[in-house]
Amino acid sequence: MASRLTAFSKFLITLLILGVLFFAGRYFLNNTKIGQDLKKQSSESASKQGQSNDNQTSSNNGNSGSNELSRDAVKVGVVTWGGYAGGEYFNEGFKANTNSRYYKEYGFPVEFKILDDVPVSREAWKNDEVNLLWCTIDALPTEIAGLTDYDPVVVFQSDWSRGGDAIVARRGINSVADLKGKKIAVAEMSPSHSFLLWMLEAGGLKASDVEIVKQASAIDAAQVFKSQQVDAAVVWSPDDQACIKSVAGARILESTKSASNIIADAFIAKRSWAEKNKDRLQKLYEGWMRGAAEINSNDANKRKAAKILAENFTGFSEDDAYAAINNVRLCTHGDNLDFFGLNPNYKGVTAEQLYSRMTTSYKAIGYAEGKVPNWRTISMPEPQKNTNLTGTEHQSEAQKSFTKVSEAEGKTKEAIATKRVSISFRSGEFQLDENSKYIIDKEFVEIAKAFGNSRIRIEGNTDDVGSRDANVILSKRRAQSVADYLVNTHRMSRNRFVVIGNGPDKPVASNSSEDGKSRNRRTDFELIGE
C-alpha cells in the first residue's frame, strides 16, 4: 500500500505548480505575438476607463483642467463678506472652472481667494498671489503709504455696507453723546474705525472724548463686548445680534443701514498689472456688474448667490449668506459711474470725497502716517469708461424715499446723534447768507450725505431777546431756510427733514452774557430714527 503525501509535501507541490504557471504566462505575454496583442488591448482599455472616470469627475465639479485654469486665472482676494457676491455669482463659484460665465462668455478663468487676515492679504497682493485685492475707500488712507512701492490703483467699487457694520452699546447708552468717556472696542484703522469716527463727528464728539480699546478685528471686538469688558463695540453682522443676545439690555446704537454711504468696498490692482491686462480687467468688471444687477433684481438669483457663498464661507448657512448679501448694496455700473465722479449730475458721495475726508480724519488722530497720495493719482476708472451697460438694472441706486411726518411726530423721535452748528443771522432775519451756506457745507452736508438713509431733524434756536412767540416763529423760519438750502442745492429729499422752531426754550448757555447769547443762536442737526 503506497504511503500518503504529507500536508507539507502537498504545499510544496502547489507552490511548484504556481511558479511554473507564472513564468510560463510571463514568457507567453512577452515573447509571443498573441501575448503582446493581449497586453496592448488591456492597456488601452484601462487608459480609456481612466480617462472616462477623470472626465466624469471634472464634469461633476466643473473644474476640467482645474490646475491649468488656476494658473491662467485672474485671481481676486476677498474676505468673508456679502459684498463680493456679484463676481462670485457670475463665476459660478470661487474656483476657476469651465462652468464660469467668465470662462464661457469672456474666454478666461477667474478665481477667488478668501484672505480675512489683513496683513496676510496685503503680502499676498504684493507677492502677486492675487491680482486684485479688497479694500475699503474709507480706511485706505491708513495703509496706502505702505503700498505705494507697488503703485496701487483703485479700479472699481463692489458695494456699500448697508447693515453689515454696527455699533452695539450696553444698557443706558441711547445716543452718541452717551458714549463720552466710555470704552469702545474697535478694530483700529479698519472700516469699523471709520464708522466710529463718522458717528462721533455726527454726535459732536471727538476721538479723544472716548476711550478706544484696540482690537485685531471686528470679531474680536464682539467677543470683548460680550464679555462685558467695554461699554460699546463696532462689530460686523451677524455678531451685532449675537452681542445683543449675550448682554442684557444691549442695543444697536446705529448701523450702516442708516449710515449708508460710509463704508465703500472696492478693489485695488498694481498699475503695471492693470495696464498689461486692460481687456481682462474691463471684462472682469463688466461680468461683475452684470452679476450684481441680476442679484439685485431677482430673489432667485440672490438665493443662488447665497448658496455659492455658503459653500465657501466657513460656518455660514445659506440663510446666513443670504442675510450677508442683504446687508450690502451690490453696486451697479451706474453706481460706479457716480462713485468715480463720471456722472456730472450726481450729488451724492464720491470716492474722492470719502477718501479725502477720511485722510483728514485719520491724519488728525495720527493714524495716516507717511505721504498719503492724492485720490486722482490712485484712481483708475478705465473699466467704467470702456463699459456700456444699459437698462434699468444697471442704473445707479435711487435716493431713499422718505414719507412725510408731522412736526408733532418729528419732535418725539429719538435723536441718535446731535451736531450743533452756529449760523449767524441778522437781527430779525431768516435768509441764509453766503457765509451761512459755507458753514452748512463745511459742518453738515457731508454728514447728511454719509447718513443717507437717516431722517434729519433741524432745530432752530434763539437767545431770549424779544418775545418768546416771535422767537419761536423766527427760529422755525431759520431752520426751514436751512432745509430749503439742502433740498434745492444738494438735492436732498424734502420729506427727509423735520423742521422745529424752539425759540429760546433750549439754551446751551446763559443769556446773561453776549457770548452765551451767541451760543444759543444756533441750529441743531439731529439724526433721528424712523
Intervals of CATH 3.30.1330.60 along the chain: 407-528
User: d(Cα 382, Cα 377) in Å, to the nearest integer?
Assistant: 13
pLDDT digits (tens, 9 = 90+) for 268-290: 999 999 999 999 999 999 999 99
pLDDT digits (tens, 9 = 90+) for 97-151: 999 999 999 999 999 999 999 999 999 999 999 999 999 999 999 999 999 999 9
Predicted confidence at residue 13, as pLDDT, reads 62
| Least confident interval from 40-54, 202-216, 375-389 | 40-54
User: d(Cα 19, Cα 25) in Å, to the nearest integer?
Assistant: 10
Query: Is residue 33's pLDDT more than 90?
Result: no
Say which residue, 240 or 55, is predicted with more confidence: 240
Intervals of CATH 3.40.190.10 along the chain: 67-162+262-394, 165-255
CB 109 within 8 A of CB 97: yes
C-alpha to C-alpha distances, 103 to 60, 91, 95, 488, nearest whole angstrom: 17, 8, 12, 48
Percent of the chain with pLDDT over 70: 87
Mean pLDDT, residues 302-317 taken together: 96
Q: Residue 213: beta bridge partners?
A: 185
Give the Cβ contact number of residue 386 at 10 Å: 14
Tell me the three cell numbers of residue 360.
Answer: 483728514
Predicted confidence at residue 122, as pLDDT, reads 96
CB 327 within 8 A of CB 82: yes
| Least confident interval from 53-62, 100-109, 325-334, 494-503 | 53-62
Predicted confidence at residue 16, as pLDDT, reads 62
Mean pLDDT, residues 147-164 taken together: 96
Give the Cβ contact number of residue 200 at 10 Å: 21
- Mean pLDDT, the chain, rounded, equals 89
Name, in order, each residue with C-beta under 8 angstroms of 103's C-beta and a sequence gap of 6 or more: 69, 96, 97, 109, 110
Percent of the chain with pLDDT over 90: 76
Mean pLDDT, residues 291-319 taken together: 97
Query: Is residue 3's pLDDT more than 80?
Result: no
CATH number of 165-255: 3.40.190.10
pLDDT digits (tens, 9 = 90+) for 477-526: 999 999 999 999 999 999 999 999 999 999 999 999 988 988 888 888 99
Q: pLDDT confidence of 368, banded at 50, 70, 90? A: confident
Q: pLDDT confidence of 339, banded at 50, 70, 90? A: very high
Task: Give the DSSP H/E element, type plus range, for residue 34.
Answer: helix 33-61
Predicted confidence at residue 227, as pLDDT, reads 97
Predicted confidence at residue 7, as pLDDT, reads 55
Query: Is residue 47's pLDDT more than 50?
Result: no
CATH architecture designation of domain 407-528: 2-Layer Sandwich (3.30)
User: d(Cα 255, Cα 162) in Å, to the nearest integer?
Assistant: 8
CA angle 370, 354, 440 (to 5 degrees): 115
Predicted confidence at residue 64, as pLDDT, reads 41
User: d(Cα 206, Cα 73) in Å, to the nearest integer?
Assistant: 46
User: Dihedral sign, CA of 32, 33, 34, 39?
Assistant: positive
User: Dihedral sign, CA of 356, 360, 365, 366?
Assistant: positive
Predicted confidence at residue 5, as pLDDT, reads 53
Closest CA to 77 of 123, 131, 127, 118: 131
- Pairing outcome for strands 74-78 and 110-114: parallel
Predicted confidence at residue 25, as pLDDT, reads 58
Give the Cβ contact number of residue 231 at 10 Å: 22
Half-sphere CA count of 169, side-chain side, radius 13 A: 19
Dihedrals φ, ψ of 139, to 5°?
Answer: -95, -10
C-alpha to C-alpha distances, 241 to 166, 246, 331, 420, 515, nearest whole angstrom: 10, 9, 25, 32, 46
Predicted confidence at residue 45, as pLDDT, reads 45
Closest CA to 90 of 74, 105, 104, 102: 102
Rounded to the nearest 10°, the torsion over CA 55, 57, 59, 61 is: -150
CB 72 within 8 A of CB 55: no
Tell me the three cell numbers of residue 435.
Answer: 457765509
Predicted confidence at residue 12, as pLDDT, reads 55
User: d(Cα 354, Cα 141) in Å, to the nearest integer?
Assistant: 10
Predicted confidence at residue 212, as pLDDT, reads 96
Which amino acid is residue 338, in one-letter code?
D
CB 332 within 8 A of CB 397: yes
Looking at domain 67-162+262-394, which of 3.90.1640.30, 3.65.10.10, 3.40.190.10, 3.30.565.10 is its CATH number?
3.40.190.10
User: d(Cα 387, Cα 378) in Å, to the nearest integer?
Assistant: 20
Query: Is residue 414's pLDDT more than 90?
Result: no
Predicted confidence at residue 61, as pLDDT, reads 37
Query: Is residue 434's pLDDT more than 50?
Result: yes
